[in-house]
Structure 1
Amino acid sequence: MHSSNIPAGLVSALGLTQIIGYGTLYYSFSILAPGMSADLGLSLAEVFGVFSVSLFIGGLSATYIGKQMDRIGAATIMTIGSALAAVTLALCAWSPSIAIFAIAIILLEVSSGMVQYQAAFAALVESDPRTASRSITYLTLIGGFASTIFWPISATLTSYLSWREIYLVFAALNLFLCMPLHFWIRSLGKKAGEASIQPRETVIGAIPPHARRRAMVIVSFAFALLGFTLAAILAHMVPMLGSIGLGAAAVVIGSLFGPAQVLSRLINMVFGKNLSPPGLALLSAVLIVFGVLILLMTGNWLPGAVAFAICLGLGSGINSIAQGSLPLYLFGSDGYGAITGKMAAARLAVGAGAPFVFAAAMENIGLSFALVANACLGAISIAAFVAVAASCRQPATATA
């Protein structure tokens, strides 16, 4: 049967575009920010301020983008998104003024929503709703290497090129590599649509229709809180570990986060067949909160800090799988784009303020209290995931 080999090609192509999408539009920013601030005459805090605002506005656009995915197809949105990403990277590289730079960075985050995980997950659900959960796990496994690949690439390029020239290189990657791949994925969907005369199989959600709205609010709230907890710590991870007395080891400990993220997805791929998506979401929240508590209890004890980074990475890795598979499990494949769009909007809008709020908390109430507050937010998300898991005990039956 030829359709079984489509996911492998599809997942590989999406994996490559996710690495480039996250690498060029998200991970490279922290490396290039010092060059931007020097060039534009802004403080580093102001450059990150622009980035935070762009993450917030990008988050708000996720709802609209999600609806469009259901309407014209995720792969079509991704193709347009790659073109927009290339244009805005070029606009950013050219930007003669701070205003144009700020507009370009905001547009960059809007294009991110069109090409990153949210869109890729929707493309997989469109391609085959039944195998989508497994495909999402494989995809996040490949995408997990984005920071591992693009942090060193960006840092190396800064020795030879200005940040503007690097953005032009990144624009070319999005235009000449990602856009054709997304266009090819779009053509796969068209062929599949023409080939199958019989209606597409759909996945029926585990939440009964009357309880969907409540479950949707709780799940969005839980992911948003957990996203805040994670974003707050990730933005300050290396300096924070340095400040508690880990010195040079802080960078090494921080670098464990990426591999732990990939490892958790690998473990889930091999052993996670028996764990339902609500279980996965719950596990990710528990690991993240546990990581924060370990750091609180062990302070500058090196093994404790290592355990903290690994727990955080494992939790974060499983969390991105749950973001794709839990909505599919709970609400089914119909309208998947719009549902995940709303969830992403809540998560990104709340998470955008996290680095700023956590920095303010560390300054005003101290690191320990900031971490305690953070762990409490994570604990609330654990309770929310438990509530959702409890409300979908009955198995999903196809009552079309």
Structure 2
Amino acid sequence: MSALPSTSPSPVPHNAASLARLRLLSVLSISQIVGWGTSFDLFGVLGRTIAADIGISNETGFLGATVMLLIMGFAGPASGRLLERHGAAKVMAAGSVVFAFGLALLSQAQGVASYFAAWFTIGIAGTLALSVACYTAVVEREGSSAKSVIGLLMIFTGLSTAIFWPLLSWLTGLLGWRDTLLLAAGCHLLILVPLHRFALPPIKARSQTAQAAADREPMPLTALQQKRAMIALAVISIGFSSVTFGVSSSLIEMLTQAGATPALALQLGSLRSVLGISARAADTIAGKRASPVTSGLVATGLIVIGFLALIFGHGSVWMLGLFIGAYGIGSGLSAISRTVLPLGFFSASRYAGISAKLALPGNISQALSPVVIAGLLDRGGLQLLLTFTLVVSALVLAALIFLAMLSRQATIKR
């Protein structure tokens, strides 16, 4: 059952709608920057400090990120049901309360058990307040036109490390890591809870016609076709996570093994996020002119071109540049495509449930792929890793082609 109201509204002036959209974007940008900046992103600044202080190895400490992502994945279907029943505002507010509790637990960690209990709690918070819940809040208010707002949100969310790494570093030097985490917990409790609960624009009451539009499937798929579409979307989610999130953690080492000097590898690697954000901006500007399937196909093609440039580049600076350019843009496009693809095959009112189900394989892939990628690179070398990534990319490409064919068949039926 959807949480969207269904009574008749009065017409909304264009300026009022624009202001509501700006308000939505502002609240959720703050929410996601703070949410990611005080959870997954804090490993870059505090991971080793916390591990040393509580007497665990760095490897054990960084497993906290894996625990967080796995819990977010496994809790995804349950959070989807909560989002459908109660709406994103209430669920995200509850998530911020859990975030505060998890960060407070982490600030008091004294060993392995309390450390992982904190990350388990933060994982629950993440599934209630990050990514799927955030995009559901957009779809509740924008319907099938949510792509542009989601694209802008992804651009701002990509700035979380740029904002929180220096901020966390400064606060840790000033207060110590434990009090810094308590301050972050207070931020969730005192700022994000009221923002989520009261500052999000209200969901406009819908006429029966508008509600029917939200419930209408974008294409006439049979039950079997819907099941196959879900499988294809899961393959795309797993594959894109592997070749973007998984590869990014080993990117510098890949460039070094491909022939780049350590300094050049660092310079090229730092360009990836800039290129990714630029690609998201371009895709957002393109709007409805670029369908999610088309964006996904372009993203996969660019990622493949990048990997081939590493295979046949023989350390050439130009080919290394081609790799980082194609891979950076492709990985940026893939993020938006993966997020909005469900809207192309399922109704807006089903977005929360569908996306939450897809979060399970996607988050598991995010949690495990860095370990798999690093293992392949360390044990088999660059060629084995690139062979693996090309096979994964081929599976993603096949799934996208299947969705494109499914869409065309459904269009012909109309």
Structure 2 length-normalised TM = 0.88
The corresponding residue for 1:384 is: 399
Q: Closer, same or farther in 2 for the Cα pair 1:174/1:300, shift >3 Å?
A: farther
Paired residue for 2:350? 335
* Structure 2: gaps of 5 or more residues: 1-12
| Helix, strand or coil at the partner of 1:188 | coil
- Aligned equivalent of 1:214: 228
Is the Cα–Cα contact under 8 Å of residues 21 and 116 in structure 1 kept in the other structure? yes
| Structure 1 pair 122–304 and aligned structure 2 pair: CA distance change class (3 A) | same
Picking from 54, 61, 71, the partner of 2:68 is: 54
Contact 1:286 1:315 (C-alpha < 8 Å) held by counterparts:
yes
Give 1:23's aligned amino acid.
Answer: G
* C-alpha contact 1:51 1:106 (8 A) present in aligned 2: no
Q: How does 1:245-394 map to 2 (within 5 A)?
A: 245-298=260-313, 300-393=315-408
Per-residue Cα deviation, 1:4-31 (whole angstroms, up to 9, x for no partner): 4311211121112111112211122132
Q: CA deviation at 1:144?
A: 2.2
Stretches of structure 1 that go unaligned for 5 or more consecutive residues are: none
Using the TM superposition, give the Cα deviation of residue 255 of structure 1 relative to its aligned residue in structure 2, in angstroms: 1.7
> Who is 2:40 aligned against?
26
Partner-residue secondary structure (3-state), 1:32: helix
| 1:63–1:345 contact (8 Å) kept in structure 2 | yes
Match of 2:139 in 1: 125
Residue 147 of structure 1, CA deviation:
2.5
Equivalent pair of 2:140/2:349 in contact (CA under 8 Å) = no
Q: Deviations over 1:24-46 (max 9, x none)?
A: 11122132111022112222111
With over 3 angstroms needed to count, the CA separation of the structure-2 counterparts of 1:369 and 1:131, relative to structure 1, is: same
- Number of aligned positions between the proteins: 395
* Residue number among 229, 237, 247 corresponding to 2:251 in the alignment: 237
Deviates more, 1:39-48 or 1:87-96: 39-48
> How far did residue 71 of structure 1 move?
1.0
Amino acid at match of 1:386: I
**Percent of residue pairs bearing the same amino acid type:** 27
Q: Where do 1:179-190 residues align within 5 Å?
A: 179-185=193-199, 188-189=202-203
Instruction: Give per-residue Cα distances to partners, 1:226-263, cap 9 Å, x unaligned.
Output: 21122221122234434554212333222212211210
User: Which shifted more, 218-227 or 233-242?
Assistant: 233-242
Letter in 2 for 1:344: A
Report the equivalent of 2:5.
none
**1:199-227 Cα distance to aligned partner (Å, 9 max, x none):** 53415323513311111111111211221
| Conserved? CA contact 2:273–2:328, under 8 Å | yes
Aligned to 2:153: 139
**Of 254-263 and 290-299, the range deviating more from structure 2:** 290-299
Q: What SS class does the counterpart of residue 38 from structure 2 fall into?
A: helix
Match of 1:204 in 2: 217
Q: Among 169, 177, 182, which residue is 2:191 paired with?
A: 177
Question: What is residue 114 of structure 1 aligned with on the other side?
Answer: 128
Question: Deviation at 1:280?
Answer: 1.4
Task: Say what the alpha-carbon RMSD is for the aligned residues.
Answer: 2.3
Distance 2:325 2:160 in 1: 18
